[in-house]
Each structure stands twice: as structure tokens, then as C-alpha cells.
Amino acid sequence: MGPSQPDGNVRVIGRYALYGPLAAGGMATVHFGRLLGPVGFSRTVAIKRLHAQFAQDPEFVSMFLDEARLAARIRHPNVVPTLDVVATDGELFLVMDYVAGESLARLARTFADRGTRMPFRIASAIMAGVLHGLHAAHEAKDERGMALGIVHRDVSPQNVLVGTDGVAKILDFGVAKAAGRSQTTREGQIKGKLAYMPPEQLRGMPVTRGTDIYAAGVVLWELVTGQRLFSGDNEGVIVAKVLHGDVQSPSSVLAEKGARLTGDEVAALPRLERILFRALAATPEERFATAKEMAVELERAVPPATSSDVGEWVEVHAHAVLEQRAVRVAEIESGATDIPLEARPSGRMPTAVAVVANAENPTRIVSPSNPDITPPVTQPSSLSVVTGTSSIPAARPNANSWVFVLGIAVLALLVIGGGVAFRYSKPPPTVGAEPTASAPLGSGPSTSPSAPPTASTPSAVVVGVGVSPEPSASAPTPPHTGASTASTPPKKPPPFVPRPANTCNPPYTTDVNGIRHYKPGCI
């Protein structure tokens, strides 16, 4: 990626601000971008803009959308994540993470121009990361757990970014292929860069993960030697060399160039050559079974440099470009709030992976089942990839909160009612053998045995749960004496029995047998 150019006017697409170009490729131009989220949230991104001649080609549009769909399923730190896709005004924009770093192609070209090469430990760290990222892509699964069969098919230095954090990331799955996808390329069409294609791909045979392993082997060979593996004046010469499979050993190339190696590099070179020849085998069956297997062997043969060492190395060899970009990013981030409010996105945001532009409203997403909106589908990426128009509604009461409050109220009533029922489920207290007579609350003992009952236990229970009973017509309303008066029946005093006068001295009588019998009234 070269230095950016002046931006001119900032263009707002959906919820993103599009700035000046960052780099250009054969299919698209990469721009600086800025996510304009609600409540001031923002984030710097990279936005790939499909060239106009391809945006009108349904096949290339399909391929472009496949990049987003497939890359969103790959979860690995060595893969640049796809964040979003926006369709507007007949154009397509792919939103990706912004990586502060430089492409491996430009880094390698810097060494070639100087007539030097990359240290083995740096090359090992970069390519081991690339291989681990490829393995994650090869093993990616869909939502149902089925293997997607992703093959990158275009592994090259141009599609590898090395960040200032020392992490190598592979990007651009625009020519990737997933088994069983509905969108396919024209039969026999070759995509990618010829010098990195294995023989079976040039012959039009099915591609497998071995295709990416071969391409990774070519990239590693070029990093070790500092020159191209297959070069020629035209494409025919390059294809002939690839099909012939004439791979020169790195040791002979380095000897011809008079390269100076460290002691560790001299010791590691034979092991490194074995890895390269296996990766560059003519048939997929002779290569490593997986990209992870090759990565592990490479890390054993040449211990990789640490991430901090790789990051420092990138900053040293790409200092000028990185400084220019850092200044541009700072300008974008500080000026993001200067975008006019009318140009900022509203609560409705057009974001989709499989989108169709609407002529009347290009920023809306349409689908066959619903012309206006499709349900959002969360994807596992640093930001969710959705397939529909989302909105941010105003805050409103949650129905669940009302259910919770109602449940608490019902529970409180049940507890109170249960406690009162438990209290009155006990038998009323009695005095001696006297039966309890029903009487109005607060009334004294009944003086007439024929007086009808006017208050009962059930009415007292109803009062206990907060419902006032009707006043009795046969008895006066008692004064309020507190909760205990309403909830506890009054105790009836025992009847008065007058004692006979002067009959208890002595209090007993003696029969003829001398047995004392106490008088009933004197006990």
C-alpha cells in the first residue's frame, strides 16, 4: 500500500465516511474510512471500493459479496476481518479492519531494491502467521457446523499485511471459493497471479487447500532468497516454468548472490529447504496435508522472531509510509466530528452481505421475501455483519418490567392471605367446657339465648385481606380498636356461681366410715 492522496470531499455512504485512497488493486481501490456510530462512537476502517467496470458485472459483484460472506466466517488473528458491506448508487463497498502496517509485497520490494534479503527469523514469523490464518480459513464452518471448503486461491505478497504490532494478516478472499456456493465463476476462467499458482490450478483442475500451501511455499522461497521464483517476459513463459516444476534450491541462489548468512541461518537452511521442496511439490498429495502442519514444521526449523521484533522491523523498513499514514489517520479521527449533521447516518443503517440496490432508495436493503427489510443476522466478527436495515428506537418501557411488578404484587397478596388463613385455621380458644357463642365483634356476653349470631369467623378473614364487610343490622358497629380487635375473637368470662353463706366451715362432711367428702361450693 502506497501513501495516501489528498481526499477532496468526504463522501458519506450508509454509516461510513469515505476518504481518500489508501491503495489500488486490479479489482478495487482501498480507501480510508470512518465508522460514524450513534452517540459519538467512531472507528477508523479500510473500505474497499469495487471498480466501476466490475460493479456492473453480476459475476464480479457475486464474487465480491462472497468475499464478505466467507471472510465473516473466518475467526483468526491472522485474517483481516470483514466488518460490513454497503450497496449504494450502483456501487459496492467492503468494510474491513484498518491495519496499521505495510503489505508484504512492498516490504519484499524494499529488500530487492537494496540487493538484500529478509532475515530468516522474520520470514518464519510472517509466513507461520499466514499459514495459521489459511488453516483457519480451510477449517471454517457455516452456522450448521458444515465445512465451507474455503480456498483462498490468491495467496501472494500483495494479499499479506504485516502490522506494526508484528502480526501478519492475510486478506482479500475476493477470489475465494466455497464448495456448494450458488455463485460460480465462468468455466475455465483463471483468477489470481500466475507465478503463485500450482500446476493443477493452471490446468483447470479443482483447487484444494494444497493450492494455498503451494502458493505459501512460493512466497516463502522468495522471502528467503530475495528474488522471484518464476519470472518471465510474458505469461506463457511463467506458465511453462510452473508446469515444468524446475525449483532451484535456496542455498544455490544465495551462494550465487554472495549472500551473508548468520550461523543460525546456515544451520537452519537445510531444514528450511526440505520444507520448501515439500510445499512446492508438483502434486497436492506430496505436499503438507494442512497449512497448520507446514506452519509447525517451519517454526521448528527456524524459530520465529517475536511479535515485538517483527513490529520494530516493519517500522524501520517502512518508516516513511507509516508516518504519512499515521498523520492522515490522525487528521481523519480529529475531523470526523466536522461532518455535517445532515450527512451523518440516521438511526436506520443500510448494511448487508447479500444486498440488492434499490433504485428509489439506494441505501435500503431489499430481499425477495421482504422488499424493505430483512431480519438482522449477527456474524462473529469484530463488528456484527447484518443482513438488513437496523434502527435505534426511542427508549420505551419494557413489557417484562410490568410482568415483574405484577408478579411481586400477586406474591405479596398470597403471602398476606396465606398468613391470615393459617391464623384462622387454628381452633378458637375455650374456657372450661363452655362452648363458644357467636357474637358481634366487640360486644359483651349475650344475655338472651335466642339472639341470632351476627359475626362469624369467615367475615373476619375477609377483613384481614383488606375488604370491609357490610355492617350488621342486628348489632351496633364496634369502635375501631386496632388490628388485634378485628383479627382475634374476644374471650367469654366464666359464669358467676354464688356461694352459699356460712356452709364451708368446715368445708367437708364426714360419713359413717370416717371418710371426708368436700362440699362442692367450698372447693
Domain co-membership, 125 together with 36: no
Domain co-membership, 254 together with 367: no
Structurally, the chain folds into a number of domains equal to 2
Under the phi-then-psi rule, with left for phi > 0, alpha for psi from -120 to 50, and beta for the rest, what region is 66?
A: alpha
Distance CA 71, CA 83 (A): 9
Assign 282 a pLDDT band (cuts: 50, 70, 90).
very high
Domain co-membership, 39 together with 163: no
Domain co-membership, 326 together with 273: no
Question: Residue 332's domain spans which residues?
Answer: 1-98+320-382
Q: Tell me what the mean pLDDT of segment 192-211 comes to.
A: 91
Assign 123 a pLDDT band (cuts: 50, 70, 90).
very high
pLDDT digits (tens, 9 = 90+) for 309-328: 999 999 999 999 999 999 99
Active site residues: 154
Q: Is the pLDDT of residue 23 over 80?
A: yes
Q: Is the pLDDT of residue 454 over 50?
A: no
Distance CA 490, CA 440 (A): 10
Domain boundary among the residues 382, 402, 418 is at 382
Domain co-membership, 298 together with 341: no
Q: Is the pLDDT of residue 458 over 50?
A: no
List the single range of 145-159, 198-212, 298-312, 352-366 with lowest mean pLDDT: 352-366
In order, the DSSP letters of 297-350 are HHHHHSPPPPHHHHHHHHHHHTHHHHHHHHHHHHHHHHHGGGS-GGGS--S-EE
List the single range of 8-17, 299-308, 393-402 with lowest mean pLDDT: 393-402
Answer yes or no: is 375 within a domain.
yes
Answer yes or no: is 224 within a domain.
yes
Q: Tell me what the mean pLDDT of segment 147-170 comes to.
A: 94
Domain co-membership, 59 together with 114: no
Domain co-membership, 326 together with 310: no
Domain co-membership, 289 together with 333: no
Please report the pLDDT score of residue 365 as a whole number: 35
Residue 72: which CATH number?
3.30.200.20
Q: Is the pLDDT of residue 154 over 70?
A: yes
Question: Around 304, how many Cα atoms within 13 Å sit in the side-chain half-sphere?
Answer: 21
Answer yes or no: is 399 within a domain.
no
Domain co-membership, 142 together with 214: yes
Assign 119 a pLDDT band (cuts: 50, 70, 90).
very high
pLDDT digits (tens, 9 = 90+) for 380-405: 333 333 333 333 333 444 445 455 55
Q: Tell me what the mean pLDDT of segment 254-267 comes to.
A: 94
Please indicate whether residue 126 or residue 192 has the higher confidence score (pLDDT).
126
Answer yes or no: is 134 within a domain.
yes
**In the predicted model, what is the mean pLDDT of the chain?**
74
Question: Around 29, how many Cα atoms within 13 Å sit in the side-chain half-sphere?
Answer: 15
Please report the pLDDT score of residue 101 as a whole number: 96
Q: How many CB atoms lie within 10 A of CB 342?
A: 7
Q: Tell me what the mean pLDDT of segment 406-415 comes to.
A: 63
pLDDT digits (tens, 9 = 90+) for 217-242: 999 999 999 999 998 888 899 999 99
Distance CA 234, CA 307 (A): 38
Please report the pLDDT score of residue 35 as a whole number: 92
In order, the DSSP letters of 217-244 are HHHHHHHHHSS-SS--SSHHHHHHHHHH
Q: How many CB atoms lie within 10 A of CB 489?
A: 17
Q: Which residues have CB under 8 Å from 272's CB, separation 6+?
A: 120, 224, 250, 298, 301, 302
| 490-516 per-residue burial string, b: 16 or more CB within 10 A, e: under 16 | eebeeeeeeeeeeeeeeeeeeeeeeee
Grid coordinates representing 492 are 367469654
Assign 26 a pLDDT band (cuts: 50, 70, 90).
confident
Which residue is it, cell 527456524?
302
What are the residues facing 17 on neighbouring strands? 12, 34
Domain co-membership, 326 together with 309: no
- Nearest 5°: phi and psi at 136? -60, -40
Answer yes or no: is 431 within a domain.
no
Residue 208: which CATH number?
1.10.510.10
Domain boundary among the residues 317, 345, 363 is at 317
**Do 250 and 276 form a contact (C-beta atoms < 8 A)?**
yes
pTM: 0.64
Assign 343 a pLDDT band (cuts: 50, 70, 90).
low
pLDDT digits (tens, 9 = 90+) for 411-420: 666 656 655 4
Q: Is the pLDDT of residue 486 over 60?
A: no
Q: Is the pLDDT of residue 426 over 60?
A: no
Domain boundary among the residues 329, 356, 382 is at 382
Report the percent of the chain where pLDDT is more than 90.
Answer: 42
Answer yes or no: is 357 within a domain.
yes
Could you give the 3-state DSSP secondary structure of residue 373?
Answer: coil
Answer yes or no: is 395 within a domain.
no
Which of 254-263, 423-432, 436-445, 450-459: highest mean pLDDT? 254-263
Domain co-membership, 258 together with 165: yes
Answer yes or no: is 192 within a domain.
yes
Please report the pLDDT score of residue 97 as a whole number: 92
Q: How many CB atoms lie within 10 A of CB 235?
A: 11
Distance CA 108, CA 24 (A): 18
Q: Tell me what the mean pLDDT of segment 283-303 comes to.
A: 98
Domain co-membership, 109 together with 50: no
**Torsional sign, CA 153, 154, 155, 160:** negative
Grid coordinates representing 107 are 516490504
